[in-house]
Structure 1
Amino acid sequence: MRTPARHRRHGFSLVELMVSVVIGLLALLFATRLVISGEANKDAAVGGSDSMQNGMLAMFSLSGDAATAGWGLNDRTVAGCNTVFSDQRGYQLLGAKRDGVDVTPLASVVIQSNGTAPDVISFNSGSANAGVGSIMMTADYGGESFVVSAQRGPYGYNPGDVLVVAPQAPDRPCTVMQMAGLNPAVGREAEFLLAGGPQFRYNAAASMAQGYAKNVTFMYNLGQPDLLHFHTWSVRNGILLLRATDLAGAELAGAAVADNIVSIKAQYGFDNRALPNYDPNPSGNGTQMVATANGGMQITVWSPTMIDADNDGVNGGPGDYQRITAVRIAVVARSKTIEKPAPGGACGATTAQPTVFGNAVPSGVAPVPMQVNVAVGGDTIDWKCYRYRVFETIVPIINSQFRP
């Protein structure tokens, strides 16, 4: 007969086997938790990196537009002028209010403020080398197929160029038109010809809709049509969209620029100081700029909407657009990663909606904080399950100060 001691030398007992299984399960549970925790940390890091890249791309695009805004539009006759604009490819100027009346101002920047929802922001500029150069209209215009300028074959004006016809009288709007060329007939070389057709996309018909008087109407060259820099930025369903006159196919519906952008916000930086003839610019002696006591344009008040910055009794008048010295921009991006809810069923990755523009910049200028609704329309996931990054910057509207 075998003894119990001799029997145990041939294998494990049932108790030993059970203890081994329990230890193995504990080790497997620990390893599983370690892997899950590592994957969660990796997802959070990757999601944070995605939001950083998307947010920086969006901010770079918006601030780049703001830095060049206003070129060719900074003359007092043009800036803020209610403008008749027609594009056969479908681009439309961003609308605004002027004492409660709908207008389409032609300005360096136009903001459609939407409270806690994403804003719509438009930056506009031309590309002509002539910049702010203008030519007077020397004959009344009443619907003819040409307009008469003060020069014959003016420098920098080429067939197809986009022009802004701007009257001195404030009761008439400006008009964006496209010249077909100069009249080759002898004695009529000062006539800018107008023509319709698909090659002249900014002429809805062969003539303009407005009549203009001679000697008080000026024409400004914005350059070739495919280089006309009219851009409108918006956010829809978490996608940053760009409508542009110089991006084929993006004139009407817009093109996607960056994803997981939940909001863009903007504010005007006005200079509402009471200055004689409102001349804040430095003076020049022909060789160098000499700073005046006014110190150039300055930010004195922030506002997400137009104000009566020039104190002329009109809210959103041309003079108010000429007082825009800077624009404050905020971009809110979210991570791609959806964080799992707590055991109770509620997400806690983000507990409060972000607030932008809370800092007093420049020093002494009161901030106007704005809360941002980061919920994306059509998204069935609770906004609290995402993490968000806020990007802010201030861009001076350089061309507002350096104007004729």
Structure 2
Amino acid sequence: MKARRSAGFSLVELMVSVVIGLLAVLFATRLMTDAERNKAAALGGSDSMQNGMLAMFSISGDAEQAGFGLNDPLIVGCDTVMADSEGFQMAPAARGTAVVRPLAAAVIASGGEGPDRITLYSGSSFSGTGTLRVTSDYIGGNRLDVDRVPYGFARGDVILVAPEKAGERCSLAQISSNPAALAPPPSQQFIAFGGSGFRFNSGALGAQYTGGAARVFNLGPAGSLGFRTWSVEGGFLRLRATDLGGAGAASQAVADNIVSLKAQYGFDTRAGELFQPEDGLRLGAWSNTMIDADGDGVAGNAGDYQRVVALRIAVVARAKNPERADPASGQCKATSTRPTVFATQDAEFTEAEAVQVDVEVEGDPVDWRCYRYRVFETIVPLRNAGWRPTA
């Protein structure tokens, strides 16, 4: 008995101990792996939440201000000539078979399943829609004769010259003279614009205007002119803007891991005399692209832009780090289907126009299915669309 007990463990006992130890290691490894996976998913969700909220907050803030000082019917939708020494360009858009650069609260360049590009315009003049009338024909040069003392206009302000017919060609320039130094009437009142050191249309206006049939609108100081274009490129939300240094020609990154930006116009589609914006606006239809909202047979004219009363905006953000592929199949299972936006119907006379978003980032070596995504949506009423003078 003593000899057997001093011999140590038997082979069977050793094998049982090894098996128990291996099971313990396997259990601990699985526990740690699951914990890391859950941690990565939680952190990824937090990243996408923060980035998406930042992106949506930034864009919706611009959308709420869009159209301020630009809501006169003579301005909305006019094809605008603008030359910026810092490189900002107005968004092109289709008008029938032509391409124009309309000045409106919002211009959406649809990207189909890919990201859209949203351009939002606003002025900053506290004089609202106060105007001057051009009294002499303008065929070139750097001076406009006007009908009264240019009260509220100052050197460096941005002005817009528009014919007294909606939808015609407008021109944007910057005041170079000091209106306050003009001799009082009966001396001729005028505004000089452009020249060295002034950013917008430093030369001529680029269009001609008839005396007595054109007006001059003050959009406010050049430094606070809110012309902004939002886009998504390479997984970044980017911004080009007239009021952001260095962002006129080249866009600047605002938030990372943003893979898509989508937008829809909300139209008031009431026909004929039923459309009375001064008495209140009504949302009748959503559309990913510009439509013939006023029923005149041409999509994208001034009347259609005047009927844009709201914007529907969606931002798709992804987690910062991809998840690992499934060891058995080699495929990622973090996301199986592309996100869908605008799936709900909340306009009076139209069905929802849902869009399945392409979230693949060009040049990313990781499969898009390895990331987790969050969708952020909001509806922004264009309050300035209803605050307009009677046409």
Normalised by the size of structure 1, how large is the TM-score? 0.91
1:204 aligns with 2:202: yes
SS in 1 for 2:6: helix
Cα deviation, residue 17, structure 1? 4.0
Matches within 5 A, 1:72-221: 72-152=69-149, 154-169=150-165, 172-182=168-178, 184=181, 186=183, 188=187, 190-197=189-196, 199-205=197-203, 207-221=204-218
Number of aligned pairs?
Answer: 385
Q: Which runs of 5+ in 1 are unaligned?
A: 283-295
Give, as a single letter, the amino acid of the residue that structure 1 aligns with 2:240. R
Matches within 5 A, 1:272-283: 272-276=269-273, 278-282=275-279
Structure 2 counterpart of 1:327: 311
Structure 1 stretches of at least 4 aligned residues deviating more than 6 Å after TM superposition: none
Structure 2 counterpart of 1:36: 33
1:350 aligns with 2:335: yes
Cα RMSD after superposing both structures? 1.8
Matches within 5 A, 1:378-389: 378-389=363-374
Q: 1:26 to 1:279 in 2, by over 3 A?
A: same
Matches within 5 A, 1:253-332: 253-276=250-273, 278-282=275-279, 296-332=280-316
Q: What CA distance in whole angstroms lies between the structure 1 residues aligned with 2:375 and 2:295?
A: 34
SS in 1 for 2:176: strand
Cα deviation, residue 53, structure 1? 1.0
Which deviates more from structure 2 when the two are superposed, residues 303-312 or residues 100-109? 303-312
Structure 2 counterpart of 1:375: 360
- CA displacement, residues 268-314 of structure 1 (integer Å, 9 cap, x when unaligned): 111111142832322xxxxxxxxxxxxx1111111111111111222
8 Å CA contact 1:71, 1:132 repeated in 2: no
1:7 aligns with 2:14: no
Give, as a single letter, the amino acid of the residue that structure 1 aligns with 2:53. M
Q: 1:18 to 1:305 in 2, by over 3 A?
A: same
1:336 aligns with 2:320: yes
Give, as a single letter, the amino acid of the residue that structure 2 aligns with 1:344. S
Q: What CA distance in whole angstroms lies between the structure 2 residues aligned with 1:171 and 1:397?
A: 20
Cα deviation, residue 146, structure 1? 1.1
Structure 2 counterpart of 1:396: 381
Give, as a single letter, the amino acid of the residue that structure 2 aligns with 1:94. A
- CA displacement, residues 32-60 of structure 1 (integer Å, 9 cap, x when unaligned): 11111101000000001111111111111
Structure 1 counterpart of 2:234: 237
Q: What CA distance in whole angstroms lies between the structure 1 residues aligned with 2:5 and 2:267?
A: 97
Q: What CA distance in whole angstroms lies between the structure 2 residues aligned with 1:369 and 1:6?
A: 78
Cα deviation, residue 385, structure 1? 1.1
Q: What CA distance in whole angstroms lies between the structure 2 residues aligned with 1:375 and 1:339?
A: 15
Give, as a single letter, the amino acid of the residue that structure 2 aligns with 1:384. R
Q: What CA distance in whole angstroms lies between the structure 1 residues aligned with 2:3 and 2:348?
A: 90
Structure 2 counterpart of 1:24: 21
Which deviates more from structure 2 when the two are superposed, residues 72-81 or residues 207-216? 207-216
Cα deviation, residue 72, structure 1? 1.1
- CA displacement, residues 234-268 of structure 1 (integer Å, 9 cap, x when unaligned): 00011000100000011111111111111111111
Q: Percent identity?
A: 51
Give, as a single letter, the amino acid of the residue that structure 1 aligns with 2:115. P
Give, as a single letter, the amino acid of the residue that structure 1 aligns with 2:159. L
Cα deviation, residue 15, structure 1? 4.5
Which deviates more from structure 2 when the two are superposed, residues 228-237 or residues 356-365? 356-365
